[in-house]
Amino acid sequence: MRFDGKFGLVTGAGSGIGRATAIGFAQRGGGVAVVDLNGANAEKVANEIKASGGKASAIVADVTRPADIDMMFSRTLDAFGRLDFVHNNAFGFPAALRTGSPVTAVADASDEVWNHTLEVGLTAVFRSTRRALLIMRSQRSGAIVNTASISGLRADYGIAAYNAAKAGVINLTRVTAIENARFGVRCNCICPGAIETPLLVGSATPEMIDKFKEVIPLGRLGRPEEMANVVLFLASDLASFVTGAAFVADGGQTAKTGSPSFLPE
């Protein structure tokens, strides 16, 4: 799996799955725009890539700002001249929300939590995809991979906005795929389960991490590099006949019905 002569853009690339994807893309010969809200993290990842002989450009952008989305694509084209791959991966919450908590029942959820979650988790993906299509359709080629979640396929207690955003990403992926296949553009998404990223580890207690491990048949959290491998496959020519797919990578978590076991587990 090689990306020689190809160039990509990864959002949320300063850590976690985005970082692993950017590094993996560069290790396989591609040039990559490392986009993150945290400039220090973006620079660190880009420098790591360049120190290993790869091509990378760090870009600081807030994906909830339309002007920043335009800027990150313009700067990517300025740096590389074309765009072959986009990984819409950025997600997160501000350090402090004025009202409410990201984890709350529907009956108690605030408009602020709902609006922010949809803005960063779905609307930003839409805007980034729309901007990428302007480039890829003119090239008659390109691959877009979105980070969705198994939370877009199943319901969770307490994170309704996240569930709604990720479900939206899955169907936005499908619509993008069928509308743009004739232009040579593919669009897929990954649906990770519990992955050992700063977002999860920083928000979950050790007890909650243990509970995740209990419901995952493989008995552990996934690693960012394992998710990046799926993203890179979908971005590569090896997946040339794959579009509109939602790839589950959750250690077997959603393979179970949730019914009581008929045999000892």
Distance between CA atoms of residues 53 and 92, nearest Å: 30
Amino acid identity at 130: R
What is the residue-wise DSSP string for 49-76?
Answer: HHHTT-EEEEEE--TTSHHHHHHHHHHH
Print burial letters for 45-62: b (CB count within 10 Å at least 16), e (below 16): bbebbeeeebbbbbbbbb
**Are 125 and 175 spatial neighbours (Cβ–Cβ below 8 Å)?**
no
What's the gap between Cα 92 and its chain centre?
Answer: 11
What's the gap between Cα 209 and its chain centre?
Answer: 21
Report the catalytic residues. Answer: 162
Bridge partners, 147 (sequence order): 190
What is the residue-wise DSSP string for 152-206?
Answer: GTS--TTBHHHHHHHHHHHHHHHHHHHHHGGGTEEEEEEEE-SB--HHHHTTS-H
Residues 6+ apart with CB under 8 A from 263: none
State the sign of the Cα–Cα–Cα–Cα dihedral 80, 174, 155, 212: negative
